[in-house]
Amino acid sequence: MERSIREESSPERVNKAYEGVAERKLVEAAQNGDHKAFGKLVRAHQKRLFRYIYGLTGSFDSTEDIVQDAFIKAFNAIKTFRTEYAFYPWLSTIARNLAYNHIRREEKKQSLEDLQDKGFDPVAVDLGPLDALLEGENNKRFYKALMAMPVKYRSVFVLRHFEGMDYAQIASYLKIPPGTVDSRLYRARQILMKDLADLLNEW
């Protein structure tokens, strides 16, 4: 019982609760037409959303367009959002659907060299334990392998390693069984291990 009280009153839980209340107030203000409140929501989530969508498209320009369109669509549909839920999952679903539509339309992918010329630094993306493969020339190989992967595998991999979701969250987000998440993530890792075998042997 004492442990539960300590856990409920821990700084991390209190901060998350506070952030949830603050975000809900911003959403409610935006639903009442407050553009500044929606702007604060944009600033709070745009970096995370950009990283997620870039992991799906591999294109800096396309990601910029998709993220911008996602925020426009979110603003236009904000009154339909139910404030008892977290805002980011709703927003990222809008962006994900736009990204999927883009991927279906596009057959060619922009090269990583062109992306870096335009100022995007793949090394800046936080991939936790995968950071070892994102140093120097290795980052080009990693992203080339990731972009070559079928989108159904890439989506699960990105949600797990870019977004930090657990299996249950991914299953709920993509509306697929947890077992499918497991098999797709396994397949994604196998593809990367095969394509990056020479790099992995160095670590």
Closest CA to 125 of 148, 146, 103, 94: 146
Residues 100 and 138 in one domain: no
Asked whether the beta carbons of 77 and 95 are under 8 A apart, the reply is no
Both tokens assigned to 115: 């992306």
Residues 154 and 81 in one domain: no
Amino acid residing at 2? E
- For residue 19, what pLDDT is reported? 63
Who's near 44: CB < 8 A, 6+ residues apart? Answer: 23
Domain finish residue from 120, 139, 157: 120
Q: What is the extent of the structural domain holding 111?
A: 1-120
Q: pLDDT (tens digit, 9 = 90+) per residue, 148-192?
A: 889 999 999 888 888 888 888 888 888 898 889 989 998 988 888
Domain finish residue from 63, 95, 120: 120
Domain finish residue from 87, 120, 153: 120
Q: Which residue has the higher pLDDT, 118 or 84?
A: 84
Residues 16 and 98 in one domain: yes
Residues 116 and 129 in one domain: no
In this prediction, residue 137 has a pLDDT band, given cuts at 50, 70 and 90, of: low
Residues 173 and 190 in one domain: yes
- For residue 111, what pLDDT is reported? 46
Residues 22 and 68 in one domain: yes
Asked whether the beta carbons of 194 and 153 are under 8 A apart, the reply is no
Q: What CATH number is associated with residue 142?
A: 1.10.10.10
CB crowding 66-85: b at 16 or more within 10 Å, else e: bbebbbeebeeebeebeeee
Q: Across the chain, what does the average pLDDT equal?
A: 77
To the question of pTM greater than 0.85 for the whole model, the response is: no
Residues 83 and 16 in one domain: yes
Indicate whether 75 pLDDT > 50.
Answer: yes
Give how many domains the chain has, as a whole number.
Answer: 2
Residues 23 and 110 in one domain: yes
Q: pLDDT (tens digit, 9 = 90+) per residue, 88-134?
A: 999 999 999 999 888 877 644 444 445 445 444 444 444 443 445 54
- For residue 189, what pLDDT is reported? 86
- For residue 5, what pLDDT is reported? 41
Residues 85 and 13 in one domain: yes
Residues 32 and 2 in one domain: yes
- For residue 202, what pLDDT is reported? 54
Q: What CATH number is associated with residue 30?
A: 1.10.1740.10
- For residue 127, what pLDDT is reported? 43
Residues 139 and 178 in one domain: yes
Count of all residues that appear for the chain in the document? 203
- For residue 44, what pLDDT is reported? 92
Q: pLDDT (tens digit, 9 = 90+) per residue, 22-50?
A: 899 999 999 998 999 999 999 999 999 99
Tell me the range of 10-19, 40-49, 193-202 where mean pLDDT is highest.
Answer: 40-49
- For residue 16, what pLDDT is reported? 53
Indicate whether 8 pLDDT > 50.
Answer: no
Residues 75 and 108 in one domain: yes
- For residue 4, what pLDDT is reported? 43
